[in-house]
Structure 1
Amino acid sequence: MTKSKTFWAASALISLALMVFAGYSIYGRVALHFSGDTIEVKPVPLPAAEEQEEEKVDTKSALEKIKAAEKEDKEEEAKAGRGTPAKTEVPRMRAVKTAFEYKDSAAKSVLISGSFTSWKDKKMTKKDGVWKTDIYILPGTYPYHYTVDGKKKLAPGKPKAPTGDSLVTVN
């Protein structure tokens, strides 16, 4: 009888430990999707080539000249007694038309969803055995996946995110 109690107590503790571990793992994955944030994975920066460095130096000197000219204009307006200077517009980031393709002529329906669609499915159209769609996306790196006939599929040849989805980089 003593061996039986020890065995069942050990089994219960091991089961409890496995349930805690599984719950924590599931919580971590679910928290990523329901946090409301988009998961953005940045590519590793590469060292700039010498030509690009020269262009950067030229750009910096041009920016300094523009800033100096703006300061002079502001000083002249202040001396002339005019009000506040006009605000300069900051260039806004624009969404880029991004084409997605999935090759499977046997598929009956293909949907795409990703952080750029707030994980809502978007239908793709079939033409010559290739499923295609265009989506406007702001520059960045985003996770996504295809749903082919109800099953989640990754994009072949694309990098993989830590969440198990494919990644797309938009410039």
Structure 2
Amino acid sequence: MIRLLDLVFSLLGLVCGSPVLLVIYLVGLSDTGSPLFRQERVGRNQKPFILVKFRTMSLDTASVASHLASTASITKLGGFLRRTKLDELPQLWNVLKGEMSLVGPRPGLFNQTELTQARDAKGVFAVRPGITGLAQISDIDMSTPELLAETDAKMIRDMSLKNYLVYIIKTVTGSGSGDRVKG
């Protein structure tokens, strides 16, 4: 049932949101010249996939977790996109392709070995990664790998249609702070 909702919501989001996606893309061209950001991430069963987002940092920013990046790397458009979580919209394509779910553990980077090990020990990689989840609406980010893995495992254990919808609604209405970047 959740996969069907993922398909319906992601397709609707891409179709209905296409004017917003186009505007952000065009503004992003003048912001960085390269509005889409693609990065290899750890997916279900630890298989790699390419995550797509709107670029929020300058082109020369190192490929590290957001909490390790500097705020100086965030562009003006990027700050707005992060605050509003609009930078995540292109991931609806990842959901439509089956690489992600709307709700699930946020996909980490392969160089985040502590997080990968903690998640592996808790069976988190048995599910598709998600755009949002319990950790995101609870302001838990990748800077606390053990807590994040525990929260992800709890979310997976307690997943239901009701929780799936609650996490989406809370994300859309502003719960959580998105990816944190150090000052």
Q: Report the TM range for the smaller structure's normalisation.
A: under 0.3
More helix by share: 2
Structure ranking higher on relative contact order (CA contacts 8 Å, 6+ apart): 2
With structure 1 as the length reference, what TM-score do the two structures score? 0.22
CA radius of gyration, larger in = 1
